[in-house]
């Protein structure tokens, strides 16, 4: 079964756009959650232990920032 991929981001965030571009090119479906739109999205990011975006969540694992190698490991982890 495919893991749900969520990208917590905000408008004007260059690294957020790089993560979304990477996932799109890799053919990975994902949901974007803008942390400026809902407090619950900001809370979710903080629950993973991060204070900024982008935060990419795959299943129960999360990473911050844009690092193609780490992103690939996160996606392949399951």
- Residue 62's beta-bridge partner residues? 57
Please list the rounded mean pLDDT of every run of 10 residues in the chain (78 residues): 87 97 96 97 95 94 96 87
In this prediction, residue 3 carries a pLDDT of 77
For residue 69, the enclosing domain spans 5-76
* pLDDT at res. 77: 80
Cα 18 to Cα 44: distance, rounded to the nearest angstrom: 21
Determine the pLDDT at residue 2.
65
Q: What is the pTM of this model?
A: 0.93
CATH of the domain at 51: 3.40.30.10
Find all residues with CB under 8 Å of 60, minimum gap 6, and list them. none
Number of domains in the chain: 1
């Amino acid at each position: 079964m495919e893991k749900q991929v969520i990208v917590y981001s905000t408008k004007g965030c260059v690294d957020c756009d790089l993560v979304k571009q990477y996932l799109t090119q890799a053919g990975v479906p994902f949901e974007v959650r803008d942390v400026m739109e809902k407090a619950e999205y900001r809370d979710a990011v903080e629950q993973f232990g991060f204070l900024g975006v982008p935060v990419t969540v795959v299943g129960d694992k999360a990473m911050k920032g844009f690092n193609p190698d780490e992103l690939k490991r996160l996606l392949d982890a399951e």
